[in-house]
Amino acid sequence: MRSTATSVHENAESKDPTATGREGGHVDVPGLAQVIDTALAAAGLRPSREELADLEHRLRHHIAAMCPVVQAVVDRLNRGGPHWYLAQATLDTARWALSEGRGDDLMSAQCRVTRLARSCRALLNGWQRWS
């Protein structure tokens, strides 16, 4: 059985790297996949505060850019259906992750980067699945 924590590159390679959805939003799939993989790999490496701050900034940028693109996809789904609920919950979780403030210590910053990376991965996977 394969782990759900497999590289995002496996899913990213199945789509065109220029990745423009039907709603016209552009997603930098290779760049996004690299940031997600780097952030998730950093969980066991004890990165510095500066590295975590850089990863957090990059992840926040990607999530903020993807939210309107994914929202356009969600708006096309059958409202109230199971796919709509899953898509909307994924989007809401990503927005909630963006609203969180910075932590006071290195451990909370590490947890936040991991949570942002997982939210970003869920948005990317959902966008690819629902588009």
Tens-of-pLDDT digits for all 131 residues of the chain?
333 344 444 444 444 444 544 444 578 889 899 999 999 998 888 889 999 999 999 999 999 999 999 999 999 999 999 999 999 999 999 999 999 877 778 888 999 999 999 999 999 999 999 88
Q: What pLDDT does residue 25 have? A: 58
Domain boundaries, the chain: 8-130
CA distance 71 to 55: 24
CA-to-CA separations, 99 to 22, 43, 64, 76, 94, in angstroms, rounded? 28, 21, 11, 25, 9
CA distance 90 to 126: 8
User: Model's pTM, two decimal places?
Assistant: 0.79
Q: What are the distances in angstroms from CA 60 to CA 75, 102, 117?
A: 22, 12, 9
